[in-house]
Structure 1
Amino acid sequence: MKNIVIVGGGAGGLELATYLGNTLGRKKRANVILNDRNQTHLWKPLLHELATGALDDGVEALSYRAHAHNHHFHFEQGAMVGLNRQHKYVELSPVYGEDGDMIVVSRRIPYDYLVIAIGSKSNDFNTKGVAENCIFLDNPAQAMRFQQKMLELFLKLRENQALDDIGEEESKQQLAEDGHINIAIVGAGATGVELSAELYNAAEHLSSYGYGEIDSSRLKVTLIEAGPRILPALPERISNDATEELSKLGVKVKTNTMIVEADKKCLITKEGSQIPADLMVWSAGIRTSSITQNFDGLEINRINQLVVKKTLQTTEDDTIFAMGDCCFFMQDDGTPIPPKAQAAHQMAGFCAKNIIALFEGKPLKEFKYNDKGSLVSLSEFTAFGALGGKLTGGSSMTIEGKIAQWMYISLYRMHQAALHGCFKTGLIIVVGRLNRFLRPALKLH
């Protein structure tokens, strides 16, 4: 029985493992193995909600092992550190416990077909001080780190307010500016914009949970973009409308501003000015992990993405596929497929069909990306989007408000349906509605 190994349990990798497990694994036609460094899966576009506590990872996170049991595939935890194409195996690093003890030794997993879907990580462009002083909102651990630091800042603000009331000025803890919380976000793509709005939604709820009186005058969020406008992937009108909405919330939007250094308490611009901050997030660009340089001669580009053919097979090895953010796929119009969740979703379904075609001795098909547009949510306040021409039957169409919010949520529901089926997804929606009454609006731990 052939081994199909999928490295990376993100949106695309987990959907692919689920599909192949339900088709090939269930019928014992193949041994499907999913590998990831983590034990649980969380949809990456939700990380900004996890960072503010609007999302509870204890509810939304999905156990790889439990899901593997339910869908006829196997799960192996560990980071992929090497690839041997001659002997056809991937090498996994050991797994260590919280105390540093080795729990699982390094392993070699043989494969007949390999799918690499390791996603992407933030690109700091080697900017001085960023790695040491900024949080990269590209994985759940970083999002949880942000939330912890954010809650500490709000507690410090509450303490300062209490000391103000009793006149203990000398005992006050210093924030970037007395009496304010300054949060700076570098990069005004979807992640930066959504996090900016979500922070003000979190501030409203924290005021009800004993964190003191918090409003837009106390919370100062600065959104920094090197380009001329925010949301460069969306039409200019949406960019302008989103800028206006963010400004109403209290966000200070700074465009045409390049950051050249990050200090412990401020960001330094190319012009030499300083932007004070108690908490800094870097979301200005992506790259693939440099581990792909150790993938036994597979072709990569300048940001370490694996170059693939139209069939999603790597250019150097037809038994190895790559998909999602970690692959470089040049479209017929001369543009690469953008790193979007919808691209990973489409690639997962296509890759599954091509692998099944290999099993059945049928010719492989060429992947065609259907860009259905882009959506961005400003928390509970509003949402904006641009629907692709193929979806609207002609030119692109912009949407906003409740319709855009509904379509934004539907993207996550599509992902859940691919993993659980429509019936279970419907039950998840019902449970989510009930949790609005049973659980606090924010996770506070």
Structure 2
Amino acid sequence: MKNNREQWSSKSGFILASAGSAIGIGAIWKLPYVASTAGGGAFFILFTILTFVIVLPILIGEYIIGRHSQSDAIHSYRILAPGTRWNWLGKLGVFGSILVLAFYGVVGGWILSYIVKAISGSVSHGDQAQLALQFDMATANTAIAIAGTAIFLLLVILVVSQGIRTGIEPMSKIMIPALFLLFIILIIRSLTLPNAIEGLQYFLRPDFSEINSKSIIIILGQAFFSLSVGISVMVTYGSYLDRKISIPAASTSVAVINMIISLFVGLAIFPAVFSFGVIPDAGPGILFVILPSIFNQLPFGTFFFIVFLILFFFAALTSSFSLLETATAPFIKKLGSRSIATWIVGGIVFLLAIPAALSLGIWNEISIFGMTIFGAFDYVASNIILPLGALFTAIFVGFRLPRQLLWDEFTASSRYGKKLFMTWLLLLKYVAPIAIILIFLSAIGLLPF
């Protein structure tokens, strides 16, 4: 359909931006823990299968919604399903993006403060207990928490306000290759440590005796959240996609890049933690406590720790670009200016991020569902909004959109035939929803495993 909507200037720019959106800090710091509790290499085999069987079909569906409607997350559903209430799905995605970006901004602020600390030499203790105390003190410092969050979100706003072609796309083209390069540097260093081969074998050697129904659900959750589906981010990015680009091929490229990064995470971290007899952890501890304790015992350890921090910083930024773009896009036309819309939405995100940042300090006694404000933001977004959003996206694409529309978008600029199309549709309509329901029920404790 005719539309003067801004578009990606190249296929590579679109793929790198999408990959940047998917490669989030949460997925990176959670992977070592999940892999260590789910059979090492067995985890990676199942993770790969579930990514391509469950998550990729939904990713393709989100791109189809965006490209065919050529509109933002909310108006896409109004265009494709006029006179219905399906646009609530887009609103849920926008709200989820704002919520995720609020706590991403806090973590981005922590990373910035630790980059400064590492450069100044103040993160130099090898004892994990001392480093944990230092992290608690840093996150409890009101000035550091607010300033770090503000600077991080300011950088995100400045890039997104420039648009797709002059803001998000060129930055993604720089940061994603840089992220790969930084990972390679860290992998080389990690593999040269004593006992590194043991860690490598643990990560790559399959142990299916560790696999049970609970671990499959955990792996499925990791695969599901690894491609950034469920909060209309890829609907938004897909709306800037030219019909000359094949959606299945581009989606597969994004999934492959994500798998490579997941492999790199394991190759960089497992040899290091095994070399020093450390147990992989999930969450901020892996970045701000465990890795500093390892790097501080190495020659040039501070340099490699700074490299790791910059890597996480790039991952946080590229994910945040997509989150702010998704939240901003519905308001650009209404406000008549991308810049004004970006600054207003970015300001709202910052105001929302303030209580999340303070919840680990002076507001740590405030509890929501037994969690800190920061923890509640993360839980609601990751365990409720994302799975619900992905579930109903699969239902919307599989059962609400016309079959001819799906066929036209799936086969545009590609050589994919009817067999592959029908396989994708089967996975999207039936397999993916069942898997998501299992994840959701497990997350809220309604499954007996």
TM-score normalized with structure 1 length: 0.32
Bigger relative contact order, structure 1 or 2 (CA pairs below 8 A, ≥6 apart): 2
Larger % of strand: which? Answer: 1
Larger % of helix: which? Answer: 2
Larger radius of gyration: 1
